[in-house]
Chains A and B, each alone.
Chain A
């Protein structure tokens, strides 16, 4: 069965510092990969997605993620975080065919300190 692991439940970084959120997945084949963000009171918003091709994916809000097949990882990065990036981040996988049934990780809550 497919699964997604986000090993960090909570991360605190200083404003302006770099960020990396980890995501590992277990899947029968190479799935489609996603990062979502949920700000307080908001729905989940898609940051970026990877289907195929270039393994470094650019997303919205200055985020990027790198797919590493050998490590079954899809880590999210941002070179310099802003206070508005404080939110909860979810990594997800989905089948490359079928009905867009997403499997999510448990999320990483990001706190930004001045």
Chain B
């Protein structure tokens, strides 16, 4: 069974540009989470999808971030326009059932904004 995959593994963009990160959850997992780790800091929750619906987006930093999950399968996280403070590692996780805390994480996308 394939795990959670994320693309790209690393992205370097200039301030003001747009970047789209993609996450493919484990097949059949309705719950999808995005987290972010800024260098040296803790991993922070961004948002949670249940199928295609946003269940909780309380961690999204501002309106430059847009997450979608069309069709309830893969998800994208777009940053537009990117700022220097957006640099970090973006993790995606998925789980099959809510409240059993069996989240499977992807390897992350390292975003560098210069």
Contacts and interface: CB of A to CB of B under 8 A. Distances in A.
Interface of A: 4, 32, 34, 36, 41-46, 49, 51, 90, 92, 94, 97-107
B85 to A, nearest CB: 17
Nearest to A95: B99
A105 B33 CA distance: 17
B101 A105 contact: no
Contacts of B64: none
A34 B101 contact: yes
B105 interface: yes
Nearest to A51: B101
B48 A99 contact: yes
Contact of B108 (A43, A51, A94): A43
Contacts of A105: 42
Interface of B: 3-4, 31, 33, 35, 40-45, 48, 55-56, 59, 91, 93, 95, 98-99, 101-108
B41 A106 contact: yes
Contacts of A46: 102-103
Contacts of A51: 101
Given A43-B3, A43-B91, A106-B41, A100 B33 contact: yes
Contacts of B95: 100
